[in-house]
Structure 1
Amino acid sequence: MKITDVITHQLLVNVDEPFTSSRGWYYKTKGALVVEIVTDEGIVGWGDCYGPAAVNRAIVETVLRAAVIGRDPFDVEVIWEELYNKVKDYGMTGMNISAISGIDIALWDIIGKACGKPVHKLIGGAFRTELQAYATGLYFRDMNRLVEDAVEEAQGYVEQGFGAIKMKIGLGSIHKDLERVAAVRDAIGPRVQLMVDANHCFTVPQAINIGRELEKLDVHWFEEPISPEDVDGYVEVSRRLDMAIAGGENEFTKFSFRHILEKRAMDIVQPDVCAAGGITECKKIATLAQAHSVQCVPHAWGTAIGLAATMHFLASLPNCPPCLVPVHPMLEYEQTFNPFRDELSTTRLTHTRGIVTVPTGPGLGIEIDREVLRKYRVA
């Protein structure tokens, strides 16, 4: 089998209701880059690249595509290493790796379809066939109803059956953040896990100060409290707080995560399959995490392709630590408007009372609706 073409599909949709996190970015449009890899045997694989679609498209089309055409998709490790060594002179992290991620996911999709097996069977098997999903939402929308909106949204997720919710913090006032988190905790009760995500907006002292108060509200983990560049700062925050500190969605490849894990800077690492290097590299990151007794709970944000790839990756992760009643890694199920997640696949990846079933079809186990692809495709 040989690869005959690599096709990029840049997608774009308008967002009617803008929202923001602590970074101050209002999302008025949502974009994605889908990678389609075609073979001479008629098998097609699909991948998803995290980050600005136009940049990923340029990297795939001008740098990576020529190096992939003519290759055997089963040489997935060989292709990954060659692509990485091709781009690392221009940057060993960031968009170069996101672009490789999309290609890598598509290759695994092809391999699975050729073998008639789901991806998780090819990367070690499934430790679990069902995933507990946590709802990611509670962004900042109406600044006059920050608390009320958060409470209403959180209650809605509980009614849907979610047993865990992640909310945004970082309003520029620790008192406002704590008021909002306390209101949500009171509304959802003590049995629903609650996580907070600061999108790295705090200094080390601020993170420690608010973290001590968040612990009183039984927050399960504190995600990205400080800037991702400050690994030593993460060490300090992790040591000063009892709750778990999570991060890593802005990190790429095993080399970046090695530095974090060696310092034990985080209690939970969150590589994104569509950003950190694809399924191939994320399996290695997860192995490094296991070797350091650190949980791996991947970040997920993207299309149905990225969600499916994340589900296969999660299914293949061993329990950390192994025990009688294990703590299973959860699936991030973001709740913002996203037709690329909800419409692109004819196989629905929806939850039932907060539980999502891992796809069992060949490859990623999903079929792409080309009409939806054309509907949102940028000319």
Structure 2
Amino acid sequence: MIKLSRRAWLGTTTLAVGKSLTGFAPAVAETIGSGTNRASSLRITGIRAYEILLPYDEFHAATLFRYHGLNIQLRTVYIVDTNVGIVGYGENWGPSLPAKTFQSYIDTNPFDWIADSRNLAINMAMYDIMGKFLDLPAWRLLGPQVRDRIPVCAWTVSQRPSDMAKEVQHAAKQGYRWLKYHTDEVQNVVDQTSAMQAVAPQGFQVHYDFNANATYEAILPVLEALGQYPVAGRFEDPLVATDPAGWQRLHEQISLPIYVHHGPIEFLVDGIVDGLMAGHAPIGSAIQTAAVAKTKNIPFMLQQCGGTINQAFLAHEASVFEMATLDHCNLAMHWTDDITSQRMPIRDGHVSVPEGPGLGVSIDREKLEHYANRPRPSQEPFLVRIRYQDGPTIYCRHNPEISGATDNMRYLARLLGTPTPGPKPAYNNQVVTDFWDDRDATEFQQLWNATKSGPVVQ
């Protein structure tokens, strides 16, 4: 994530943050302090957590499950109760927060947690409660609204070129204008782009997330090649954050925008990037990021993955942050259903900020109970098959449920171990990788048994 140093924060953001935190003050203060509406006695009485498993869109359900397992498909919904009967909703991807996390919130006032930087999911619920108490939309607690709908992008995992082309078509059909994905070292990103270009509607573009692990010398020719395709839109974390000089050179040499995520905020302050991506940022951190972006007049995007509750809060945030003009990332459209009574359709690459008090969404309790009790699937045997042109074919296992293994498909060293067999890891090797699951084939069974102890190279 973006690292905000004390120097960068104090030097660039004080006035902007002050405005963000006080833009709603007159109307809200009047309501809080008036007669029976006083908020001073409002208290959090409990927090309930529901781990839910909703069905993925069948289009890429198997791929997403094999790539990341339950770590993304599983979500947790939080219902925060108060002493006046108002409840607030929040959510995060993955399993529930530890129960001890909730203790510090119990018997506190929701208004104590304005601009809190501890937990995004609980932020959502607190702003939902505060908005409902005041009969105001959540954005009114953040600042003046500058847009009533926000740009959003689709998201997926890296796949074979032919499958990436299908992802573009699927995203465009859903109403998106951008597709974001993590590149990985087991596919050729230029071949993927060629395939996506062949099917992309006019104006559709791709956001490439390069994992912040390349060197300047290795990534420059990749970015230059991608820049020849109209579908290529922007590059995130193209090289290691420890090489600011390399970032500066890329900024000067590459015409497409370059954004930072896993790096210091000084990159933005010093003008060596074109924007930034704030991932899963609690509201206090998002306010700070928005302030830096406004001070430097540089756009940014928020990425916080979850369903409709999450997307609603993201829309409220991005509607008041002046420089939040990039396409924000949320996974709500990956699921064919949700536990909310309403969803947020994508229209021309945008979602509208929900109306009504708080987040503006409500929960269907029957759906919540149903999906909280849905059986958890387990992985059926499959192999990762990595085929190099004029090189080896490598077979290995991938279990995304192992702690720390969720993102192993992005990095050959994690997936195969070191020393890594085959060519030196890169994003433009002549390689195609897929998931192989022909479990009735004798060859599959032989290789499945052989890969128990590690990768097999042929």
TM-score calculated relative to the size of structure 2:
0.64
Choose from 45, 52, 62 the match for 1:18.
62
Q: Aligned pair 1:31/2:74, yes or no?
A: yes
Q: 1:272-287 to 2 correspondence within 5 Å? A: 272=279, 275-277=280-282, 279-287=283-291
SS class of match (1:131): strand
C-alpha separation between the residues in 2 aligned to 1:343 and 1:190? 31
1:308 to partner: Cα distance:
0.8
Tell me, which stretches of 5 or more residues in structure 1 are unaligned? 85-96, 251-255, 321-327
CA 1:77 to 1:356, structure 2 compared with 1: closer, same or farther past 3 Å?
closer
1:8 and 2:27 are equivalent in the alignment: no
List aligned pairs for 1:197-208, cutoff 5 A: 197-200=209-212, 202-208=214-220
**Contact 1:166-1:197 at 8 Å conserved across structures:** yes
Q: Which residue of 2 aligns with 1:318?
A: 322
Correspondent of 2:151 among 132, 135, 139: 132
Which residue of structure 2 lines up, in the alignment, with residue 324 of structure 1? none
Please say if residues 31 and 53 of structure 1, whose CA atoms lie closer than 8 Å, have aligned partners that are also in contact.
yes
**CA, structure 1 residues 158+266, in 2 after alignment: closer, same or farther (shift >3 Å)?**
same
After superposition, the Cα gap between the structure-2 partners of 1:376 and 1:230, relative to the gap in structure 1 and judged at 3 Å, is farther
- Once residues 165 and 260 of structure 2 are traced to their aligned partners in structure 1, the CA distance between those partners, rounded to angstroms, is 25
Aligned to 2:102: 65
Q: What do residues 152-192 of structure 1 show as CA deviations (whole Å, max 9, x unaligned)?
A: 3313333444333334432445xx21011022123215522
Q: What is the CA distance between 1:28 and its match in structure 2?
A: 5.2
Q: Which amino acid aligns with 1:32?
A: R
Structure-2 residue corresponding to 1:88? none
The residue correspondences of 1:201-350 to structure 2 (distance < 5 A) are: 202-218=214-230, 219-227=232-240, 234-235=247-248, 237-248=250-261, 258-264=265-271, 266-272=273-279, 275-277=280-282, 279-319=283-323, 328-334=325-331, 337-338=334-335, 342-350=337-345
Is contact 2:213-2:238 (8 Å) kept? yes
Q: CA offsets per residue over residues 226-255 of structure 1, 9 Å max, x none?
A: 45676676555444433212242x6xxxxx
How many residue pairs end up in the alignment? Answer: 328
Match of residue 153 from structure 1: 167
Amino acid at match of 2:123: D
Q: Indicate the SS of the match to 2:227.
A: helix
Give the structure with higher Rg (CA): 2
Question: What amino acid maps onto 1:31 in structure 2?
Answer: L
The amino acid that maps onto 1:53 is: P
SS of the equivalent of 1:9 reads: strand
Structure 2 segments unaligned to the other structure (5+ residues): 1-41, 375-458
d(CA) in 2 for partners of 1:227 and 1:28?
Answer: 29
Alignment partners' CA distance in 2, 1:44 and 1:194:
39
> Does the CA-based 8 Å contact 2:212-2:239 persist in structure 1?
yes
Conservation of the 8 A alpha-carbon contact between 2:75 and 2:95 = yes
* 1:269/1:296 contact within 8 Å kept: yes
Shift of 1:304: 1.5
User: TM-score under structure 1 normalisation?
Assistant: 0.76
Matched residue type, 1:370: R
Q: Tell me the equivalent position of 1:366.
A: 361
- Of 106, 122, 130, 1:111 maps to 130
The Cα shift of 1:117 comes to 1.1
Give the residue type in structure 1 aligned to 2:296.
Answer: H
Using the TM superposition, give the Cα deviation of residue 351 of structure 1 relative to its aligned residue in structure 2, in angstroms: 1.4
How much has 1:53 moved relative to structure 2?
Answer: 1.9
Q: Does 1:191 align with 2:203?
A: yes
SS in 2 for 1:269: strand
Query: What residue identity is the alignment partner of 2:290?
Result: A
RMSD: 3.0
Structure 1, 117-126 or 224-233: larger mean CA deviation: 224-233
Query: What secondary structure, in the 3-state scheme, does the structure 1 residue paired with 2:84 have?
Result: coil
Per-residue CA deviations over 1:89-145 (Å, capped at 9, x if unaligned) read xxxxxxxx4xx22222211111111111111122113211122332223x345xxxx
- Kindly state the Cα deviation for residue 212 of structure 1 after the two structures are TM-superposed: 1.4
In 2, Cα distance between the equivalents of 1:246 and 1:123? 25
